[in-house]
Amino acid sequence: HGRASIHRPTPRSAALSMAMHGSGGTGGPKQSWLESGRHYYFGPASREFDFDPACFPQSLNAANGRAKLDNFDAAKGNLWQFRFIGGGAGATLGVGGKSEERSFTMQCLNGCNSNCCYLGSDLSLVPDEARAQLFVSTEHSLCRRTVTGEVAMKVRTYGSDKILCCDERRQMVYLLKATDASMTSPVTGLPLFNDAWEATPEIDPPEDQVNDCLQRLLGSG
What is the DSSP secondary-structure string of 138-154? Answer: EE-TT----STT-EEEE
Q: Low-confidence residues of the chain, pLDDT below 70?
A: 1-33, 46-55, 87-101, 112-114, 142-146, 205, 220-221
Alpha carbons 88 and 95: distance in angstroms, whole number: 20
CB-based contacts of 171, cutoff 8 Å, min separation 6:
1, 58, 68, 69, 70
pLDDT tens per residue across span 77-93: 999 999 998 755 455 44
Give pLDDT, residue 60.
94
Give pLDDT, residue 200.
85
DSSP letters spanning 11-60: HHHHHHHHHHH--SS-------EEETT--EEEEEPP-GGG--TTBPPEEE
Largest Cα–Cα distance of the chain, in whole Å?
52
pLDDT tens per residue across span 132-148: 999 999 888 766 566 77
Alpha carbons 180 and 20: distance in angstroms, whole number: 25
**pTM score of the predicted model:** 0.74
Give pLDDT, residue 122.
96
Backbone angles phi, psi at 176, to 5 degrees: -120, 150
Work out the angle between the directed axes of helices 207-217 and 11-21 (0-180°, nearest 10): 80
